[in-house]
Amino acid sequence: MPLNWNDEHIPSKADKTTDILGLKEIGGVGQLVYHPFRFKEYTYSLNGKDQLVYPVCKVGQEPEFPSPEGLTGKELLISLCNLAKVIDSNDNKVPKEQLILKWCKDNMHPYRVDLIYAELSQDFNINSVEADLVERDGIFEIDRFMKDLGNLYNAVRFYVALEGLIYSDDEIAYNLYEEGRYFESYNYFEKYKHTEPDIPDEVLKQIEASSKSIVETMQRTKEYTDTHSVHQPPEGEFDFNFNHNPYDDYDKLRSKLVEFIPDFNMRLKFNSTTGRFDFSAEIDSVFDIAWYTLARMISEDPALENRQREETRPEGIMICCRHCGKFLIRRSNRQEFCDSEECQRARNARKQMAYRKRKAGNDSEKKRKQRKTKE
């Protein structure tokens, strides 16, 4: 039987008339079985031009096995995105290598997770050559981690921005494109900020006079508007108005996002918590876990036409804090800010401002009406 995010059983919603077997039709496919373990220490050094990370597996520094319940796919996804955010920030002073190794020590070893777990669990003897084998199999490149992290971070930011559009919250989409220190985010929303200029009469006349056909005229006027389109800066601090609504292209943008999600191989895996075999995605790295979690989120989103009703906005989806931009899983469908004191203060300030704006609007409306009745 399938489980929801809170690991409660959900009744089968299998549609007997369909030929497509989705997650809801085959119980258990949505589960992800993986075995977290972490090394207590790493070293890193340059090998030619590659920066390599070496895990330490020695007596006194035995790998640990955190409980899988304490390290869900959702939590790994969120914490990888927040790691990316810190690494990419221009304010961050800690070298990226240190941040990555700290993440690995706090969470789990990132690569070849199934293989190393198997090596560690079958009568493992840390005083033997087996420990050397584990150390060797655990080596990974910082560059590879950075590349995997950047790809994931970009897709997640795009996902969160697209989610916002559905609820007329354009802020994240509006601010999506930026050059960070390492990761350059997608620029899919940039074109919606531009306004197309009116073509001056004399330019139009000139194009028409020198074009050989209507098609050429059209091409050249389009070239003109493309090269002369203006980027309108927002009018106020909280003004995130696109000139064209990207929501109109939602399906197209969404397909773009789905293109970035890698394919998964499925196979039977032994789930030690249930003592059963589950049909699960093949997992090699923490990034596979994160991608799979994101894919599952997307596959569980309701159809577009059911989503605009506020009450159907599912709980437990990923958002960025409106103030600090940190990724989090929302506890209620109204949550927009993280719990930090500063962000809660910002939340109250915004609420007050919205109230004042509304009140000012109401007052001027009242005055207008009063004036009208006097006339």
Span interacting with Zn ion, options 33-41, 218-226, 238-246, 334-342, rule CB under 5 A:
334-342
Compute the half-sphere exposure of residue 332: CA atoms within 13 Å on the CB side of its CA: 4
CB of 157 to Zn ion, least distance (A): 16
Residue whose structure tokens are 């590879």: 144
Residue 276 near residue 184 (C-beta atoms within 8 A): no
Residue 2 near residue 24 (C-beta atoms within 8 A): yes
Q: Which of 56, 343, 347, 350 binds Zn ion (CB under 5 A)?
A: 343
Residue whose structure tokens are 């077997």: 21
Question: In this structure, what are the phi and psi dihedrals at residue 229, rounded to the nearest 5 degrees?
Answer: -65, 145
Query: What's the distance, CA 209 to chain centroid?
Result: 51
The residue count for binding Zn ion (CB under 5 A) is 7
Alpha helices per DSSP H over the chain: 73-88, 96-106, 113-121, 129-137, 142-166, 171-174, 201-210, 214-228, 250-260, 286-300, 341-374
Span interacting with Zn ion, options 77-85, 216-224, 283-291, 323-331, rule CB under 5 A:
323-331
Span interacting with Zn ion, options 238-246, 261-269, 303-311, 322-330, rule CB under 5 A:
322-330
For position 81 contacting Zn ion by CB under 5 A, the verdict is no
CB of 342 to Zn ion, least distance (A): 7
CB of 347 to Zn ion, least distance (A): 9
User: What's the rounded Cα separation, in Å, for the pair 135 and 65?
Assistant: 16
For position 323 contacting Zn ion by CB under 5 A, the verdict is yes
Span interacting with Zn ion, options 29-37, 113-121, 133-141, 333-341, rule CB under 5 A:
333-341
CB of 249 to Zn ion, least distance (A): 29
Span interacting with Zn ion, options 247-255, 262-270, 285-293, 343-351, rule CB under 5 A:
343-351
Q: Looking at beta carbons only, is 317 or 343 nearer to Zn ion?
A: 343
Q: Looking at beta carbons only, is 54 or 240 nearer to Zn ion?
A: 240
Residue whose structure tokens are 């596979």: 288
Length of the chain: 375
Q: Looking at beta carbons only, is 155 or 321 nearer to Zn ion?
A: 321
Q: Looking at beta carbons only, is 242 or 327 nearer to Zn ion?
A: 327
Span interacting with Zn ion, options 68-76, 265-273, 293-301, 321-329, rule CB under 5 A:
321-329
Q: Looking at beta carbons only, is 193 or 326 nearer to Zn ion?
A: 326
User: What's the rounded Cα separation, in Å, for the pair 174 and 160?
Assistant: 12
For position 338 contacting Zn ion by CB under 5 A, the verdict is yes
CB of 272 to Zn ion, least distance (A): 36
Q: Looking at beta carbons only, is 14 or 324 nearer to Zn ion?
A: 324
Q: Looking at beta carbons only, is 85 or 326 nearer to Zn ion?
A: 326
Q: Would you say the C-alpha torsion 215, 220, 221, 226 has a positive or negative sign? A: positive
CB of 286 to Zn ion, least distance (A): 24
Q: Which of 324, 329, 333, 350 binds Zn ion (CB under 5 A)?
A: 324
Q: Looking at beta carbons only, is 35 or 323 nearer to Zn ion?
A: 323
User: What's the rounded Cα separation, in Å, for the pair 51 and 256?
Assistant: 33
Q: Looking at beta carbons only, is 139 or 343 nearer to Zn ion?
A: 343
Q: Which of 327, 308, 334, 71 is nearest to 168 (CA)?
A: 308
Q: What is the enclosing helix (H) or strand (E) of 277?
A: strand 276-281
Convert residues 178-207 into a mask of x (bound to Zn ion by CB under 5 A) and - (unbound): ------------------------------
Q: Which of 83, 149, 321, 327 binds Zn ion (CB under 5 A)?
A: 321
Determine the 3-state secondary structure of 249 from DSSP: helix
Structure tokens at 72: 């869900």
Residues with Cβ within 8 Å of 350's Cβ and at least 6 positions away in sequence, in order, are 238, 322
Residue 44 near residue 52 (C-beta atoms within 8 A): yes
Q: Which residue ranges make up the site for Zn ion (CB under 5 A)? A: 321, 323-324, 326, 338, 340, 343
